A and B are shown apart, each in its own frame.
Chain A
């Protein structure tokens, strides 16, 4: 079983090979071939993930570090003591991510075959999807921050490519798509700067980027093993211990130094305590996470990213890429645990994001925008969970969310597909075939939908499951994970008296109410009532490749929560085991801890969610839904301002435009016009450099070169010419004349040689 661990490079290799095959032969393979290759690649990666899971269970959750073939020592600068290996880390945390990424990813691949059917760049789409998987898997399997960063940037690139996939759509749609892609890319760059700074700081502080060295385990479990409580982890002792200190990964090093206390980090001109440095590192990491995981203040890119094809929204912007920030923070739980200030900030940011995004989702018309803001909101839950120290709950919510949010997106894709087909159908068989002056039709606008539950039954029922799951209704998946976060937040408040615990609890409870409300509002608007647009009347159920993944995801959205039943839950905890997920995760996440259910709280949460659904059911009743405009919150005088605010997304983007983009652009114009053009170009280059050079060269070429240098050389030349014309007369051509001159010359030489002798002879 242990050599299963060596299979881990394959999990990246398979999608990579799939990508390459489709890249070079995709055009010839045809849609079916491309689909089979891409799904096969993804499915094989899932198989590897499952094998790794089995190996994990089989070896007692022992973490393994596997060196990558070919890339063994990736970056090696011995003189600077830099040695970064490309290592894979197979532990419970990374295997969890692998299972989610490849599992959900494979279903989305299958779905995408149906969804992208007929697209002219079909092969390219699957190349991107597989490439995305490659990078996401690099991100989660790496054993060092640098490898993580490679994946991190790679998914950013793929996200850019996929969001802007339909960049050539007519009527300005293409522009919107490519702008959304750029927005995502730029917002992510800001976050990436944060992550990079954090990584640099980690390296400066610890001299390493490796999470855990080979044979090293999270320290807590060493302690546990020593105490004999539960020998869950037997660390391999490095073979060549000898006199040398065994190498240590950054996390255990941090723990060791924190335990020693009074550790200073020297920054050359000043030094900082280790605690302060870790706070700084975690704050930088948080900035990175706000970019990738779409938190305040960088969440604005995610809703726009819905411009990409729906499978992309599902895969990248719900199930995998956006969870990278949460994964990264959970991976760094040792740091976050040590940095109380940062934890406070993280909790506040997560809660605020959950609230703000949840509120905005209340007033959206676009079916995918609602889900996008919902994703932002749910990510806020996860981040807040990290903030309150509930790392296991954060990962648990990440897993459940991956299923139900992927399902929601795929369901919405199915609806959009149905609407588009309905619309086509209308125009093919409609009375007037005016293909040129089609009225603008938005297949994603919920105001055009209604009554789809009869036309798209599979989509409808799976959507119901996902909606109940995200709303947190017992026993669907979201109930378990959301409750665990809430319980952990409250416990932090009550047990440790921490303010952020109370804030997170209250905020997240309200956000949960928002969630249930906007989801049920969407449910009502899309599937109930009567069709409000002829297209909705003709919407067909989607193809089998699309609805099969929906059904599978629907099943998981219902039951996946049972992987972490709290210990004090009767019956179910006996059936499915207590805290399975947490105790699984504990082997990789030092500060993972199990949270028991708080009955009062669970009841309250259920009440809130149920109440919100009931409220939505009341407000968006059939009678209202048959009217156009169909939103009673908009027409009601009391709720209209709030609705308008939510509909306008709290003017968040506008505020960004006004306070950040516009000043930046003005500054850029000023810099370009005044500083760069007027000052640098016109004054410095044109006047100072160009003119003075011109003057200098003019002086050098005129008086100096022509007047002095040329004249000197010319006079040398004419002097030689003059001398030559005089000397020419000596050349007579008579041999005897020359012989005479030779004689005289010889005599002269003799005289010169003999001069001392002559002088002596003459007695001088």
Chain B
């Protein structure tokens, strides 16, 4: 492989940064769409780590897992977006701090 020899630590570091960014996004943003995107970011961070480890060990299992994650993420987006649309239609808002219906 002619790929530049990048050490595994860098990949993991990038993955961690992306994951933290995603996590922060989930915790700090109030817009449901953006939270969704942050979740995607976290998933992709995990995907990056999986792909990196797979490469490191020359084992396809990690890459296989990436496909699973992508599939599940796609399904989740489909359902999640539908939910968000439905919520927007009734509440006229997608600010999740206003969506504490379950509490009562």
Interface on A for B, CB 8 Å cutoff? Answer: 731-736, 739-740, 743
Evaluate contact between B100 and A736: CB separation under 8 angstroms.
no
Evaluate contact between A732 and B99: CB separation under 8 angstroms.
no
Known: A740-B27, A743-B27. A735 touches B103 (CB 8 A): no
Chain A residues in 8 Å Cβ range of B57:
none
Evaluate contact between B26 and A736: CB separation under 8 angstroms.
yes
Tell me if B21 counts as interface (CB < 8 A to partner A): no
CB distance from A104 to the nearest CB of B (A): 102
Chain B residues in 8 Å Cβ range of A740:
27
Evaluate contact between B23 and A733: CB separation under 8 angstroms.
no
Q: Please, what's the 1-or-0 string for B63-104, where 1 marks a CB less than 8 Å from any CB in chain A? A: 000000000000000000000000000000000110111111
Evaluate contact between A734 and B100: CB separation under 8 angstroms.
yes
The residue from A732, A736, A739 contacting B103, defined by CB atoms under 8 A apart: A732
CB distance from A293 to the nearest CB of B (A): 98
Evaluate contact between B99 and A731: CB separation under 8 angstroms.
no
Chain A residues in 8 Å Cβ range of B27:
736, 739-740, 743
Evaluate contact between B26 and A733: CB separation under 8 angstroms.
no
The residue from B30, B35, B103 contacting A733, defined by CB atoms under 8 A apart: B103
CB distance from B30 to the nearest CB of A (A): 8
CB distance from B15 to the nearest CB of A (A): 15
Q: In terms of DSSP, what is the predominant structure of the interface of chain A?
A: helix
Chain A residues in 8 Å Cβ range of B30:
736
Chain A residues in 8 Å Cβ range of B101:
733
Evaluate contact between B23 and A735: CB separation under 8 angstroms.
no
- CA of A659 to CA of B31 in the docked complex: distance in angstroms? 112
- CA of A731 to CA of B26 in the docked complex: distance in angstroms? 18
The residue from A731, A732, A734, A743 contacting B23, defined by CB atoms under 8 A apart: A743
Chain A residues in 8 Å Cβ range of B35:
735
- CA of A740 to CA of B25 in the docked complex: distance in angstroms? 11
**Interface CB pairs A-B, < 8 A, 25:** A731-B103, A732-B100, A732-B103, A733-B100, A733-B101, A733-B102, A733-B103, A733-B104, A734-B96, A734-B97, A734-B100, A735-B35, A735-B96, A735-B99, A736-B26, A736-B27, A736-B28, A736-B30, A736-B96, A736-B97, A739-B26, A739-B27, A740-B27, A743-B23, A743-B27
Chain B residues in 8 Å Cβ range of A731:
103
Chain A residues in 8 Å Cβ range of B99:
735
CB distance from B41 to the nearest CB of A (A): 14
Chain B residues in 8 Å Cβ range of A736:
26-28, 30, 96-97
- Nearest chain-A residue to B102 (Cβ)? A733
Chain B residues in 8 Å Cβ range of A733:
100-104
User: Which of A732, A739, A740 is packed against the most chain B CB atoms within 10 Å?
Assistant: A739
Q: Please, what's the 1-or-0 string for B21-63, where 1 marks a CB less than 8 Å from any CB in chain A? A: 0010011101000010000000000000000000000000000
CB distance from B63 to the nearest CB of A (A): 24
- CA of A743 to CA of B39 in the docked complex: distance in angstroms? 13
Chain B residues in 8 Å Cβ range of A734:
96-97, 100
Please give 18 more A-B residue pairs, beta carbons under 8 A apart, in addition to A734-B96, A736-B26. A731-B103, A732-B100, A732-B103, A733-B100, A733-B101, A733-B104, A734-B97, A734-B100, A735-B35, A735-B96, A736-B27, A736-B28, A736-B30, A736-B96, A736-B97, A739-B27, A740-B27, A743-B23
Interface on B for A, CB 8 Å cutoff? Answer: 23, 26-28, 30, 35, 96-97, 99-104
Chain A residues in 8 Å Cβ range of B97:
734, 736
- CA of A22 to CA of B56 in the docked complex: distance in angstroms? 103
CB distance from B27 to the nearest CB of A (A): 5
- Nearest chain-A residue to B28 (Cβ)? A736
CB distance from B36 to the nearest CB of A (A): 12
CB distance from A741 to the nearest CB of B (A): 10
- Nearest chain-A residue to B29 (Cβ)? A736
User: Which of A731, A732, A735 is packed against the most chain B CB atoms within 10 Å?
Assistant: A735
Chain B residues in 8 Å Cβ range of A739:
26-27
- Nearest chain-A residue to B99 (Cβ)? A735
- CA of A732 to CA of B96 in the docked complex: distance in angstroms? 12
CB distance from B50 to the nearest CB of A (A): 17
- CA of A740 to CA of B27 in the docked complex: distance in angstroms? 6
- Nearest chain-A residue to B24 (Cβ)? A743
Chain A residues in 8 Å Cβ range of B26:
736, 739
- Nearest chain-B residue to A731 (Cβ)? B103
- CA of A120 to CA of B97 in the docked complex: distance in angstroms? 101
- Nearest chain-A residue to B101 (Cβ)? A733
CB distance from B38 to the nearest CB of A (A): 10
- CA of A731 to CA of B100 in the docked complex: distance in angstroms? 10
Q: Across chains A and B, which 8 residue pairs bring their CB atoms closest together, nearest first? A: A733-B100, A733-B103, A735-B96, A739-B26, A736-B27, A739-B27, A740-B27, A733-B102
CB distance from A548 to the nearest CB of B (A): 108
- CA of A442 to CA of B23 in the docked complex: distance in angstroms? 120
- Nearest chain-A residue to B104 (Cβ)? A733
- CA of A735 to CA of B28 in the docked complex: distance in angstroms? 11
CB distance from B21 to the nearest CB of A (A): 13
- CA of A676 to CA of B57 in the docked complex: distance in angstroms? 91
CB distance from B84 to the nearest CB of A (A): 12
- Nearest chain-A residue to B38 (Cβ)? A739
CB distance from B9 to the nearest CB of A (A): 16
- Nearest chain-B residue to A735 (Cβ)? B96
Chain B residues in 8 Å Cβ range of A732:
100, 103
CB distance from A728 to the nearest CB of B (A): 10
- CA of A587 to CA of B101 in the docked complex: distance in angstroms? 110
CB distance from A434 to the nearest CB of B (A): 103
- CA of A736 to CA of B26 in the docked complex: distance in angstroms? 7
- CA of A735 to CA of B32 in the docked complex: distance in angstroms? 10
- CA of A740 to CA of B103 in the docked complex: distance in angstroms? 17
Chain B residues in 8 Å Cβ range of A735:
35, 96, 99
- CA of A686 to CA of B96 in the docked complex: distance in angstroms? 74
Chain A residues in 8 Å Cβ range of B28:
736
- CA of A465 to CA of B14 in the docked complex: distance in angstroms? 137
- CA of A743 to CA of B28 in the docked complex: distance in angstroms? 13
- Nearest chain-B residue to A728 (Cβ)? B103
- CA of A331 to CA of B102 in the docked complex: distance in angstroms? 99
CB distance from A119 to the nearest CB of B (A): 92
- Nearest chain-A residue to B30 (Cβ)? A736
- Nearest chain-B residue to A736 (Cβ)? B27
CB distance from B53 to the nearest CB of A (A): 17
CB distance from A740 to the nearest CB of B (A): 6
- CA of A739 to CA of B100 in the docked complex: distance in angstroms? 14
Chain A residues in 8 Å Cβ range of B96:
734-736
Chain A residues in 8 Å Cβ range of B100:
732-734
- Nearest chain-A residue to B97 (Cβ)? A734
- CA of A733 to CA of B104 in the docked complex: distance in angstroms? 8
User: Which of B27, B99, B101 is packed against the most chain A CB atoms within 10 Å?
Assistant: B27
CB distance from B48 to the nearest CB of A (A): 18
User: Which of B26, B28, B102 is packed against the most chain A CB atoms within 10 Å?
Assistant: B26
- CA of A260 to CA of B23 in the docked complex: distance in angstroms? 109
- CA of A735 to CA of B83 in the docked complex: distance in angstroms? 15
- CA of A360 to CA of B55 in the docked complex: distance in angstroms? 125
- CA of A740 to CA of B102 in the docked complex: distance in angstroms? 18
- CA of A739 to CA of B42 in the docked complex: distance in angstroms? 13
CB distance from B99 to the nearest CB of A (A): 7
Chain B residues in 8 Å Cβ range of A743:
23, 27
Chain A residues in 8 Å Cβ range of B23:
743
- CA of A743 to CA of B99 in the docked complex: distance in angstroms? 20
User: Which of A731, A734, A740 is packed against the most chain B CB atoms within 10 Å?
Assistant: A734
- CA of A717 to CA of B27 in the docked complex: distance in angstroms? 36
CB distance from B19 to the nearest CB of A (A): 11
Chain A residues in 8 Å Cβ range of B102:
733
